Structure 1
Amino acid sequence: MKSTNTIIDKKGILQEEKGNSEKAATEIKQGCRNIFVDELKEIYFSEKALIISIPIMIKKAANKELVNALTIHYDFTKAHIKRLEDIFTSIGESETVTKYEAMYGDNKSLKEI
């Protein structure tokens, strides 16, 4: 026969372990949210960089077909930025631009052209 102290102690330990698992789950959720927000910010930066780059490409385009394709892409890019801004608003984040180093390489090669 078990004493009541032992049962109470075991329940206390189980309760304490449950609290730790809830804390770990919260930390995991927060970590996933941070990754999600960081990725959105990188995408937002890329789209903002395209808004600057596409008009330059349009001016330097060799033919009308390329100008038309780039103009369409520019319109799509503006729509993507609007959607991203809506997402940031819906999750309570600011659309602070995170520098995305890969885009810097693209812009440098564009300037060289």
Structure 2
Amino acid sequence: MPAEKTLDDLFLDTLKDIYFAEKQIVKALPKMARAAQSPALKAGFEEHLQQTEGHVDRLEQVFELIGKPARGKTCEAILGIIEEGKSIIEDFKDTPALDAGLVSAAQAVEHYEIARYGTLKTWAQQLGLKQAASLLEATLKEEETTDRKLTQLAMAQVNLKA
């Protein structure tokens, strides 16, 4: 009979998931920035790339805090979301709707990250991992801010152009 899994196991498993996801996002953001037609959207993607690199660093600190190596676990969800973004770039290239599609794809990524970081922060608190919870909370706030900025950019510019 397999050993019983605990919240600690689930925390580590989910941490590996978001670590893999963040590494994939670091690869995808430059492509999204190159595809963006709006200078504001392009700049937003470039800014978020720098933030995302910081998210990877924070996750590595969390792994260190729990005494585990920083390793990712394939996250099919983020791979699917990123693939949808690639399809939007291909299908809407050189059209007025491209940037609206890019914002939509970026928000799908943000919403996934917000869900993961919110859960991880709560679990870290329950497990008594105060420092880890604080690191996860900082990233969660940045993801929420990015999502709000994307909404504002969509409503003020890119959706109108589309």
Same structural fold, with TM-score higher than 0.5 when normalized by the shorter chain: yes
Would you say 1:107 and 2:82 are equivalent positions? yes
Q: Which amino acid aligns with 1:54?
A: L
C-alpha displacement at 1:111, in angstroms? 2.4
Aligned to 2:70, what secondary structure does the other structure show?
A: coil
Would you say 1:38 and 2:13 are equivalent positions? yes
Note the 1:59-74 alignment, pairs <5 A: 59-74=34-49
Note the 1:8-27 alignment, pairs <5 A: none
Q: Select 1:58's aligned residue among 10, 33, 41.
A: 33
RMSD value, Cα: 1.6
Distance 1:101 1:70 in 2: 22
Q: Which residue of 1 aligns with 2:69?
A: 94
Distance 2:44 2:86 in 1: 20
8 Å CA contact retained: 2:18, 2:72: no
Note the 1:72-83 alignment, pairs <5 A: 72-83=47-58
Q: What are the superposed Cα offsets for residues 52-103 of structure 1, whole Å, 9 maximum, x if unpaired?
A: 0000001111121011111111111011100000111121111111011111
Distance 1:32 1:105 in 2: 27
- Residue ranges of structure 2 left out of the alignment (5+ in a row): 90-162
C-alpha displacement at 1:107, in angstroms? 2.1
Q: Identify the structure with bigger relative contact order (alpha carbons < 8 Å, sequence gap 6+).
A: 1
Aligned to 1:51, what secondary structure does the other structure show?
A: helix
Q: What are the superposed Cα offsets for residues 14-68 of structure 1, whole Å, 9 maximum, x if unpaired?
A: xxxxxxxxxxxxx87x611111111111111111111000000011111210111
Question: TM-score, normalising length from structure 1?
Answer: 0.70
